[in-house]
Amino acid sequence: MNPLVNRLALARTGGRLQSVVPIRSAGATIEPTVTAVIPCYNYGHYLPACVSAVLDQPGVRADVIIVDDCSPDGSADIASKLAADDSRVTVIRHLVNKGHIATYNDGLDAATGEFVTLVSADDLVTPGALTRAAALLVANPSVLCAYDNAIHFSADPPPRPRTDATGWVIWSGATWLAQRCRSGYNVIASPEVVMRTDVLRRVGGYRTDLPHSGDFEMWMRAASVADVGFILGADQALYRQHATNMHKSMFKSGNFEGTYIDLRQRWAAFEAVFEGPGQHVRDSAALIATARRTLAVEALESANYAFARGFQGFPVEQFEKLALEVDPTSLQSGAGRALARRKARGISRLPVHPLWAPRSAAQRGLGVVHKWRRARVGV
């Protein structure tokens, strides 16, 4: 990866570039231990590949905790067979279904490794992923979590990942948190991140009151007390997408209702962080104000988009109400003024309103930049 392009992508993000240090040279006197928590509900047929990918990692001593949430498909029996065949695998069996948050937390509470990762049974870590993350964490004691890209896929066999790290980026926790406030979105899916177990214990696990954005809240909560690292040039995980993904089946991803739920849940994550440890971060008042404006404008722009595209059934008032709840001043923003004009004109009868084109092009361009920077340097 071109270092000049990396520096361009990092411009104004506050990240510090580092060279990769092999794990043996990073300060580890023995192989670091990494526990992979694998929550499972009806994904037993994926378990053998998921477990094998975790245990086949050079330079670290990996172990696996499978937490079966009372799956009716026989997943627990498959997990038990894997545990019987390899002493590095243990199983926690829920006798009743507890839901995904309790399943995550039960596994994380049982982790014994120096580092820990949470990998859903239908996902995979890539070759060397735990080794690369452990090297960064060993070399940088102030960093709580290390992550990289996760490749999204839907068909087997999965795509071939990149496995050669070309550098590291280190952010102070406050700087990384500020980036989240400015963008408003999460940049970590979950299977691509490895955390320092003792610090995770200190900050706590997933919140039961944030079923949709609990991971986002936890990463931000962690960043309020520790630094964050990103591994350049490699893919750390393979994230499987299918019709039964929780964000599709439970949270209605891909439609108006799903967009609204996602906005509200992301705002709840910001509120939780800044009512907790985030309130002690430098310039916390300015950061939460930025997050307010970011999400409120996003809600208003969703309504603007509906007017421009002629979406007759879009709940404009619901999105406008959410924007005002999050930031009472948001109607004075450019997005708010644009929405007032569009409400006065009414929903477009054309497939795309011609006056929307310049604004749409600008937003699409910004989206492309965001995706490029996330893939390149993690933010």
Q: Tell which residue, 289, 302, 301, has the closest CA to residue 337.
A: 301
Residue 301, classed as helix, strand or coil, is helix
Give pLDDT, residue 60: 96
Q: Check if CATH label 3.90.550.10 holds for domain 31-122.
A: yes
> Position of tokens 């290390």?
146
Q: What was the pLDDT predicted at 248? A: 46
Which stretches of 11-69 are DSSP H helices? Answer: 47-55
DSSP-derived pairing of the beta strands 115-118 and 33-40: parallel
Provide the token pair at 239.
């994230």
DSSP 3-state percent helix, strand, coil across the chain (nearest 5): 50, 15, 35
Q: Any idea where the domains of the chain sit in the sequence?
A: 31-122, 252-377
pLDDT at 304: 87
Per-10-residue mean pLDDT for the chain, 379 residues long? 74 89 75 97 97 96 98 97 98 97 97 98 97 96 95 90 96 96 92 94 93 94 96 95 57 73 97 96 97 97 84 90 98 93 75 60 76 86
State residue 10's pLDDT score.
83
Closest CA to 316 of 240, 266, 371, 260: 260
The answer to whether the beta carbons of residues 150 and 238 sit under 8 Å apart is yes
Rounded Cα distance, 251 and 268, in Å: 15
- Strand runs (DSSP E) across 241-337, as ranges? none
Q: What is the DSSP string of 210-244?
A: -TTTHHHHHHHHHHTTSEEEEEEEEEEEEEE--TT
Question: According to the model, what pLDDT value does residue 251 have?
Answer: 41
Residue of 173, 175, 104 lying closest to 145 (CA atoms):
173
This prediction has a pTM of 0.90
What pLDDT sits at residue 189?
82
Largest CA distance in the chain: 69
Contacts 24+ apart (CB under 8 A), 3-10: 3/167, 5/376, 6/167, 6/232, 6/376, 6/377, 9/372, 9/373, 9/376, 9/377, 10/169, 10/377
